[in-house]
Amino acid sequence: MKPNTWLYLHCLLMTAACFAAATEQADLILFNGKVITVDAQDHIYQAVAINGDKIIAVGSNLTINALAKPNCKFVDLQGKCVSPGLIDSHYHLMYYGAQFWPGYLNIRHPVVTSKAEFLQVVGDYARTLDSLEWVSANQGFTVHSDETVDRYDLDTVTPNNPVYARHSSGQYSVVNSLALDIAGIDSNTVAPVGSLIMKDSHGQPTGILSHYPAENMVGQHATGYGDRTDEQKFDDIERGQNLCLEAGYTSIQDVIIGNTRDIWLYKQFADSGQLKVRLYMMLYLDYEQQADSLIKKAKFTNSKMAKFIGWKLAMDGGLAARTMLMYDKSLYASQLSYPYHSQDELNSIVTKLHNTGLQVAIHVGGDEGIDMSITAFEEAMKAYPRPDPRHRIEHGLFPSATALQRMKSDSIILSTQPQWITWYGDGYTKLTDAATMSLLLPLKSMLGMGIHLAFGCDVPASPYQEPKWAFKGATLRKSTTGTPFNLEEKLIMPEALRIHTMGSAYAAFMEDSTGSIEVGKYADLTVWSHDLYNMNVDDSNVLASLMTIVGGQIMYDAGTLPVTQVDASGNRVPIPSVIKLRQNYPNPFNAETRIEFEMPKAAMAELVIYDMKGQRVRTLARQRYGQGAHALVWDGRNETGQSVPSGMYVCQMRSEGILAHKKLMVLR
């Protein structure tokens, strides 16, 4: 029997039960596709019906289309694959959105991949600035595994401007002499608890600051870091959520929110109706006294789209920073490693946080750090037993066999990044040894043992956010050069998809409402460019989200699938499904340029021109627009009527919590 025939018969057999569950009519129907449910039996259907924010039925095209109410929207999948919306278990929404702020120097991969590129990009940018103006870079530079950048290197290219640049991992930053002077860091400065101020043989700071407390000593002075306003942070959230939706994520877990202010900003954004992805928040803390203080403030009010679920600690850093907490301190990756907390202190902090009734997650990668983290979870449960706390290890790159058994016994979740196998496997090999690499993310073994797994991309610490990289790392376990890593630990695609949906849902106590396409769950769905269950290696390289739906609303649409609606005459007419800002024309331009945009429904919209430092240049419009296509003309002038100089500008469109950007080039 042909596969398509089997699928059709299977859908018919299952339709009766699914259709019977539907007691409502649908206002959104996706049909004519491959609907992978990720339910307990991994059923596959042709269509899904949605009413409001919930799924009301799955089944065949015939039965699901019959559920349409008047004015129902239809998405013709044209054979494309639909999965539950991807859930990212380790994402930094607000902070990732900030990386694309025009005021930062962009040093993210692939702009900077070596020491020479780093110094070239920083030096070129500094020459465009006034003396003493900050070179504030976004997080993301990488260098070769045998390269180091320090203050002396930076001083040669930026003698007159302070510099703050974070490594892609976020585990260390590099600054120059002027930045150290501004922060008051010298040979006598003692590093904050849990961090290092690297010094040379003469006791002088090298400009390398390891881990957040030391990094923030300079970062708080750098433009766009310590001075970031609430308005800028709201923009960061909007940029971040738009990137999430474009990637196919419908829920994310922000596991390192640095302060209570950002918790409340997230909540305000959600309460205003602007939050378009489901957000689960963890508050990060550095030391025990901070825990004592924050616990008293732990009664954060949750909303439908944003929930506070727990606490985040760190026990080690990263391989490139040489702070991975391994038993073998001779490894390059662990030469500078130290536990960020003693075992007694960690036990005490975790127990206090455990007693709030919330989750505790610990950033840790090395085998020694993993063992210490498990011990802290065990001690907390011994002192104060709790049903199903679901404590988590974040990353957990090199767990020993004994650690796996303990994780299983203690029901500890591993939230991790299989994409790092692809990107960093070759580098890990250089920074560790064969014995260490044999421990790298034994996903198949963990799955077989019943250890709960969740996948997250960890941007901006990762260069790219697209889930295709997680799928590729988990199912191929090869580096970009083709080097294999423990191929017996490969997953098959249904396993990887389940981890990235139901597994990540479980990691945030939301498996009853999201993570699968089942009647009664939230209508959070992702439509894919390729069949997830029948992709070859080449397909995985170009896998992309075509449409992302959250709570029954189309939040991202690549524009490749027809979206129609039944009009008063009973005809299906095409409609724009999401706000679209099109590229201006002409671009580049001199005198004027035309900016077109589409509105899926009547709503307020604001279009603003910014320069590349994030400063407002001109407000083009702030008014209500009707459904359909619209256009504006910018004459290249600012608010006072003066012609702006040549250069790159950004047109930002904001409407109903959606933020869209296009770059414009003025040539005089």
What CATH number corresponds to the domain at position 179?
3.10.310.70
CB atoms within 10 A of CB 315: 26
- Domain end among 555, 574, 593: 574
Task: Report the residue count for the chain.
Answer: 668
Same domain, residue pair 484 and 630:
no
Q: Which residues pair with 60 in a beta bridge?
A: none
**Residue 97 resides in a domain:** no
Residue 211 backbone class (left: φ over 0; alpha: ψ -120 to 50; beta: rest): left
As a whole number of Å, the end-to-end CA separation of the chain is 66
Give the pair of three-digit tokens for residue 32.
């004519």
Least confident of 41-45, 189-193, 354-358, 608-612: 608-612
Q: How confident is the model at residue 23 (pLDDT cuts 50, 70, 90)?
A: low
Same domain, residue pair 312 and 404:
yes
Helix (H) or strand (E) holding 624: strand 616-625
Number of domains in the chain: 4
**pLDDT at residue number 3:** 45
Q: How confident is the model at residue 483 (pLDDT cuts 50, 70, 90)?
A: very high
Q: Distances in Å between the alpha carbon of 587 and those of 73, 591, 648, 660, 663?
A: 35, 11, 10, 17, 9
**Residue 544 resides in a domain:** yes
Q: How confident is the model at residue 628 (pLDDT cuts 50, 70, 90)?
A: confident
- Tell me, what amino acid is at 159? P
Same domain, residue pair 432 and 389:
yes
What CATH number corresponds to the domain at position 407?
3.20.20.140
**Residue 94 resides in a domain:** no
Cα separation, 348 vs 351, in Å, equals 5
Q: Is there a contact between 156 and 176 (Cβ–Cβ < 8 Å)?
A: no
**3-class secondary-structure state, position 426:** helix
Same domain, residue pair 569 and 598:
no
**Residue 93 resides in a domain:** no
Helix (H) and strand (E) counts for the chain? 20, 32
Cα separation, 170 vs 321, in Å, equals 9
**Residue 126 resides in a domain:** yes
For strands 135-136 and 163-166, give the pairing. Answer: parallel
Same domain, residue pair 586 and 568:
no
Cα separation, 169 vs 324, in Å, equals 12
Same domain, residue pair 425 and 548:
no
What CATH number corresponds to the domain at position 50?
2.30.40.10
Give Cα 351 distance to the centre of its chain: 29
Q: How confident is the model at residue 89 (pLDDT cuts 50, 70, 90)?
A: very high
Same domain, residue pair 349 and 430:
yes
Provide the mean pLDDT of the chain.
Answer: 93
Same domain, residue pair 373 and 508:
yes
Q: Is there a contact between 660 and 580 (Cβ–Cβ < 8 Å)?
A: yes
**Residue 225 resides in a domain:** no
Same domain, residue pair 275 and 330:
yes
What CATH number corresponds to the domain at position 614?
2.60.40.2550
**Residue 96 resides in a domain:** no
Give the pair of three-digit tokens for residue 408.
């299983």
| Full residue range of the structural domain in which residue 661 is found | 580-666
Q: How confident is the model at residue 450 (pLDDT cuts 50, 70, 90)?
A: very high
**3-class secondary-structure state, position 203:** coil
**pLDDT at residue number 657:** 67
**Residue 44 resides in a domain:** yes
Give the pair of three-digit tokens for residue 297.
């403030």
Same domain, residue pair 453 and 543:
no
CB atoms within 10 A of CB 200: 14
Q: What is the pLDDT of residues 247-293, one digit of tens each?
A: 999 999 999 999 999 999 999 889 888 899 999 999 999 999 999 99
Same domain, residue pair 637 and 509:
no
- Tell me, what amino acid is at 262? D
Q: What is the pLDDT of residues 151-205, one digit of tens each?
A: 999 999 999 999 999 999 999 999 999 999 999 999 999 999 999 999 999 999 9
Same domain, residue pair 325 and 400:
yes
Burial class (CB in 10 A: 0-12, 13-18, 19+), 575: middle
Residue linked to tokens 């997230």: 266
